[in-house]
Amino acid sequence: MKGLLGIKVGMTQIFDDAGVVTPVTVIQAGPCYVTQVKVKETDGYSAIQVGFEEIKERRLTRGQLGHLSLLKPGDKRRQRKASNGIPPLRYLREFRTRSAADYEVGQLLTVDQFTPGDRIDISGKTKGRGFAGGVKRHGFRGGPKTHGQSDRQRAPGSIGSTSGVGRVLKGMKMAGRMGNEQHKAQNLEVMRVDPERNLIAVKGSVPGTKGGLVIIRNAAKS
């Protein structure tokens, strides 16, 4: 399994030896800690839980501190680092794996597990656009611009009939909140890897804003 959590830095472009320019997205991926190992015998499936971005321990709840072994039962004092080397972490996400026995709690995962040419999937939350109409949100054409339709150019049109069904069906495309949804970009190519600065450059764009959390996995359709 190859998987990491990261922060989207932004987009730039790189040149190869032939002078061909390629747009890339730079991601600060890791380092991540393995915070939990799940096996089929006790949990019913094999997976590992990965933590990312060290923060101050006062920003976590007591339940989160206890999960990271930073707070012992009945102890009011917080530890800056657990005995297994795990610091207070902001993000926790789970990755499925065929064999969780290859991992242990406290293990450090870095960006050097990827190499240029690998195919990966990256998921994150898209930019929130707020309330948007049907033309912007769904690409509606709008109404005719003649025959007195002075105020119908961006209107959605009919949303149902008055007979037969007699109601608005669920899932009807209408105006509403646009963006701020989980989205995945599949089969992206890794262009460059910088283990010293924990950076990875991916060809093309990835969902999310600058500074947003992204999840990197093996490509499911490579």
Domain that holds residue 171: 129-178
Q: Quick one: 114 and 141 in the same domain?
A: no
Number of domains making up the chain: 2
**213 and 121 fall within a common domain:** yes
Distance CA 165, CA 51 (A): 50
pLDDT at 90: 93
> Are 111 and 157 members of one domain?
no
Residues 102 and 164 in one domain: no
Residues with Cβ within 8 Å of residue 144, at least 6 apart in sequence = 152
Tell me: do 185 and 98 sit in the same domain: yes
**Same-domain check for residues 67 and 152:** no
Domain of residue 11, CATH code: 2.40.30.10
Output Rg (C-alpha) for the chain, integer angstroms. Answer: 23
CA angle 128, 130, 134 (to 5 degrees): 110
Same domain, 169 and 201: no
pLDDT value of residue 84: 73
pLDDT recorded at residue 117: 92
Regarding whether 173 and 186 lie in a shared domain, the answer is: no
pLDDT of residue 82: 64
Q: Are residues 58 and 167 in the same domain?
A: no
Residues 189, 169 share a domain: no
Residues 173, 140 share a domain: yes
Is residue 90 located within the same domain as residue 194?
yes
Whole-number pLDDT of residue 2: 86
pLDDT computed for residue 102 by the predictor? 84
Residue by residue, pLDDT tens for the chain (222 residues) are: 788 999 999 999 999 889 899 999 999 998 999 999 998 888 899 999 999 999 888 888 888 888 888 766 666 566 666 667 788 999 999 999 888 888 898 899 999 999 999 999 999 999 999 999 999 999 999 888 888 887 888 989 888 888 888 889 999 999 999 999 999 999 999 999 999 999 999 999 999 999 999 999 999 987
User: In the Cβ-directed half-sphere of 206, how many Cα atoms lie within 13 Å?
Assistant: 34
